[in-house]
Structure 1
């Protein structure tokens, strides 16, 4: 078929399935479609791409023997793991783009990375990452591996001069806050907490002031530019500032199943399971590596 744009009947003939099945795929948001003047239309290029990705015969991003493209959430221990990999396997270059957890899933879906780090908390189920994989990566074959559990909480000045005791203090008139970028798991966590306590984001001084890493949050606290910011315990220890724990969250690595047994991915996961990795995690503080390397989900 040479037509670039198809209607439902034409697509039915092209795919060899009945029109009812096509409507089902649209409803399940599996099939790329656009509605124009009340009728569904389909771009052939997008349909062909969807077929290729849904076949399970090859990953959306091509395997590379010397490059490992990583995206997703910022983490201090994760950075250390990448440094170890570069030293142990100089023939492989791991490239890490810190986009934030949610945006990382979209980067993965767009075929621009082999794996993504994520710690997204679903408000309803209280489950990490899996509901978001089901929502945004449902048409892919995915393996989710635990990276570590980590303590996330409030970073404050050493000695706690503002006498901050709980998350609710974020709304005090004398408290200056800093936030993480939209799409990050830490930003999502902050929004979960302000909803839980019935706090309006408009009442928070600094809600729209954004940075992209835990260390940036900590440095703003250390330099007395802000009083309050969410971050991980490891950042507080590195900067010698105080920390009020809020949650112990699960940080996972999301990988295309077709790439899971590739040489570079297995070398990466091998470090994750190593005594060296666990020793570094223990020294950084705030990490639980008992399940590191464990498969959490296999679609």
Structure 2
């Protein structure tokens, strides 16, 4: 591990010109990228820099949406329809990565949304939460699961 790549609570507080208590509040509210290693919070410097950039001026990159997940014609059509609805005010990208890779990219904050499908509704209500829990995301971020279509 490159020690310059990660900041401690004290270092990130100095870097952001905040007090340490405020940094802990940001961590508690999942507002800042952080990970806990052996009981100590670490802040990847590259994610802190990205977080600052994206937060600037209401989010420099707030007009972009990266969607990943299952390679499905229904998802493609939905993304295309949404893209046409918001054009020219934003850029939407769809990358058919597959469900597992899509969820990992979402967990790493490399994507904004992940599309997945399970077939019948009964199977989806059990499989979707189980799949989301299997990614290991336990303390940061939140999931929003939307059932957009029912094929039968």
**Shorter-chain-normalised TM-score: which range?**
0.5 to 0.7
What does residue 113 of structure 1 align with? 111
What does residue 78 of structure 1 align with? 75
Asked if 2 retains the 8 angstrom alpha-carbon contact of 1:102 and 1:118, the reply is no
Q: Which ranges of structure 1 fall in alignment gaps of 5 or more residues?
A: 6-10, 17-30, 34-39, 150-286, 289-299
What does residue 129 of structure 1 align with? 128
SS at match of 2:127: coil
Bigger radius of gyration, 1 or 2?
1
RMSD of equivalent CA atoms: 3.8
Question: Of the candidates 61, 66, 69, which is equivalent to residue 66 of structure 2?
Answer: 69
What does residue 43 of structure 2 align with? 48
Whether 1:145 and 2:143 are equivalent positions in the alignment is no
Question: Of the candidates 87, 96, 99, which is equivalent to residue 98 of structure 1?
Answer: 96
SS at match of 1:145: coil
Tell me the TM-score normalized by structure 1: 0.30
Give runs of ≥4 in structure 1 deviating > 3 Å: 61-65
SS at match of 1:146: coil
Deviation of 1:120 (Å): 5.9
Q: Report matched runs for 1:249-268 at 5 Å.
A: none
Q: Per residue, is there more strand in 1 or in 2?
A: 1
Deviation of 1:32 (Å): 4.8
Deviation of 1:99 (Å): 0.7
What do the CA deviations read for 1:114-166 (whole angstroms, capped 9, x no partner)? Answer: 11012369xxxx812211222322222221111223xxxxxxxxxxxxxxxxx
**Which has the higher relative contact order, 1 or 2, with Cα contacts under 8 A spaced 6 or more apart?**
1
What does residue 122 of structure 2 align with? none
SS at match of 1:78: helix
Q: Per residue, is there more helix in 1 or in 2?
A: 2
- How many residues are matched? 108
SS at match of 1:48: strand
What does residue 257 of structure 1 align with? none
